[in-house]
Amino acid sequence: MSGAVDLSALKARSDAANRPAPAPQAGGPAPGGPAPRGGPPPPAPAGFVIDVTEAGFQAEVLERSMVVPVVVDLWAEWCGPCKQLSPVLERLAAAGNGSWILAKVDVDANPRIAQAFGAQSIPMVVAVVGGQPVDAFNGAQPEAQVREWISSLLDALRERMPAIAEAEAAAGGAPEPEEEPEDPRFTAAEDALEQGDYAAAEAAYQDILNVEPANEQAAAAIAQVRFLARSEAVDPEAVARADTAPDDVDAQLAAADAQVATDDVEGAFARLVATAGRVFGDDRDRVREHLVGLFELFPADDARVTAARRALARVLF
């Protein structure tokens, strides 16, 4: 976001609001009359969570952000998600011990601040560093996700802003990331896998998918388990045998597994794409399904997978 949001107008308003009023001239209000408005801003609170207004924006956000990151929480009393997110931010700010500051802004009372950040919905959280917004997110996020966002921010700035490390040292050092509790369903599957019981491991992962069809971790694990089970039974001569029998689908599938097991991934993919181009009907479906199963062993953006997918599409269509 750096450079994309202009906070200069807010700074100007803050300067104007805090500029001392001129001394009364002759004929002005008599002593004891209404006090002139203006004057220096009140001292910034000592805590790590502060309420910010347009008048105090320069001192409490822009100037503070030269020393440590200031995380601006744009909220409103009527906003339900804000009431979920704000306590999370406040807890994390207290735990941060001054390594970053939480600046809470009521957008109803301070609409120009929301406008300056281009807020189209709330809650909106913006990290300000060196007088400029550098990162942001919208909506009520889980506490673990917010903690990770703040940790990433501090990690990126710790060397540039010594006050971060000083605050962390005063609090006993940078907080250790909390380990997520292990999912007992995955633990059972991993135990079976360590014992070499591939059938039990696959069944355990499949149970997870039956409940959570979109669980990518379980889907990828099943692909790995199936491959491990097949690769243990692969004949070392599978590749040589397949090369002499190009139309033997079983031989080609076994050879592809053997090649992936020896890290000849491109060779395995090319073999099955070529086989898919030579056979038809059920045999072609078997080859396609086997190749897709091998794709699942690798990240979707793996260049070898991308190239093989395109090659397979040309053969099939």
Catalytic positions are 79, 82
Q: 181 CB contacts (<8 Å, ≥6 apart)?
A: none
User: Please, what is the end-to-end C-alpha distance for the chain in angstroms?
Assistant: 44
Buried b (16+ CB within 10 A) or exposed e, 36-71: eeeeeeeeeeeebbbebebbbbbbbbbebbebbbbb
Q: 171 CB contacts (<8 Å, ≥6 apart)?
A: 95, 96, 97, 99
For 201, phi then psi, to 5°, come to -65, -45
Give Rg (Cα) of the chain.
31
